Structure 1
Amino acid sequence: MGSKFINLTRTAIASTSRLPITPARAPLLPSFSVRQTRQASSSTFGLRAPPPEAHPLSYKDSSIPYKTVQLVDPETNHLLEPQSLRSILNSYDQSTHTLILVNLGNPNDKQSIPIVKLINKIEERKKERNSEEKSKLKKKLNLNEKEIQISWQSELGDLKNKLNLSKNILEKGESKLQIIFANRKKSENVSESKKQDIIKMFNDELIDHFGKKSKDDEKNLKNGLYTLHFIPLDNVRNEIQSKIKDQQSIKQLEKQQKKEERRKKEEERRLKADAKFAAEQAKET
């Protein structure tokens, strides 16, 4: 019986071994899923917002989108006869000048022609620099604002120190000054007569000697605040402004001198290079 079972088992194994064996395959993903994923990713990532459209008057030189234009005469500032954009572009050196669009004309009028103007780059840069210098000078000439806070409960020595500080600020002639008197926290209130004495001391020492009032005093009875407003005297302010202008003029002069020195050095290098080239040419001949 045992031998029969063994024989049957061997037969089954032999028959099974003769069957073709095919390796297992992974299930295929639908092809559309890959395409959908790519489409989804491209529609949500890596996109940039379209650049803003350029303002029509920002077009220059060959980027001006008009064939016929009117040029502003650089000498008379009057409009010349209409002409082709190409003819104007061929008439100037773009390294030193640029053509700008200054007026689009009337889009509803077919006879209306855009207006262009020729700009000297060097002169334009000079204007920009002058404007920058004026802006800097104006900023320097403007008064700064400074503030001194004083408590009504201050001792006489502290009051004198704050008074001297006020004098120094106004004496420099560079700043407006606010002097704010206030109650010290958790301190006894000062009588009205003492407050008036303190205010009088500051006014008597400062007015007409170091400064003048820029506006009326401000009084807040609820908070116990009292504010004095001062500006420097006119003669002090004028002297400071003159100094600032003189310093500005000196700086501009120094810049011009440095520029002229650079120009001379460049000219010397150019002359040496020309002389060297001429000497080499003479040797060859």
Structure 2
Amino acid sequence: MVALSRSELDYIEGGVKHDLRSDGRGRYHFRNLSIQVGIIPQANGSARVRLGGTDLIVSVKAELGSPRSCRPNYGSIEVMVECSATAGPEFEGRGGEDLNMELSRALQRCFVGGPSGAGAAIDLSTLGIVASKFCWELFVDCLVVNSDGNLLDALSIGAALSNTGIPSVKVTGNTASEDDADLEVGDNPDEFARLDASKVPLIITLTKIGRHYIVDATPEEEMGMSSAVSVAVNSKGLILGLTKRGDGGLDPSVVTDMISVAKHIARDLIVLVDTEIAAAELRAAENQ
């Protein structure tokens, strides 16, 4: 994107100051959101999210694997984000690789917390099958088709995993021996167990422009920011992650206020996302 002039940046800052952004929104208003589910039939869960001009696809695939020796009763989740080179000029070459890694790590932390699993939004013990032998491994692949600002928040909406189904498994034979244990994996979608994603957070990014901050920033607004704070909030109002970007410093009292605003906005956004997903699932069922 071509750099903005000082006059253009002043115009954006003036609009934010008067709570009237260049596209007509207030500081805490999101752009139009649309969600489609079940767009990849062979996946265990999939969704397409459009937030303004930001467009991305998320798919979840469940595969049988072996648990880690340090957590024998747990499964695992791996998140990978790929920004298409056509999504924006900033995604070409090395810059795209670095951004992919940054976004992947941010989403990974939202799902599984720290290295020990503390603060995990998904109960990984529900993905265990036979201790030390078999577990489910969930691979969450996110493809950014077009980037029009606020990418991390849009990815968190798509990666909510709420429509992911885990196949039923029947264990037979000697479970003490991996060679003697047999697994019968059901292929009837009606018998799939819905993954409990009720504690998975949405990410609310507050972008500071001048003395004020906004949500769902456009690329032009992101160019005029001094800093941004991304807060991961779940439906219980719990904070599961906090990330800061930008060179500008923030007073601790400002960060506290930003977290409070993010929690308030998250309540409404979670209701909206749940409503959109329910409507999308109904449409998908009617089209079958």
TM range, smaller chain: under 0.3
Higher helix share: 1
Q: TM-score, normalised by structure 1?
A: 0.24
Higher strand share: 2
Higher relative CO (Cα under 8 Å, sequence separation at least 6) belongs to 2
Q: TM-score, normalised by structure 2?
A: 0.24
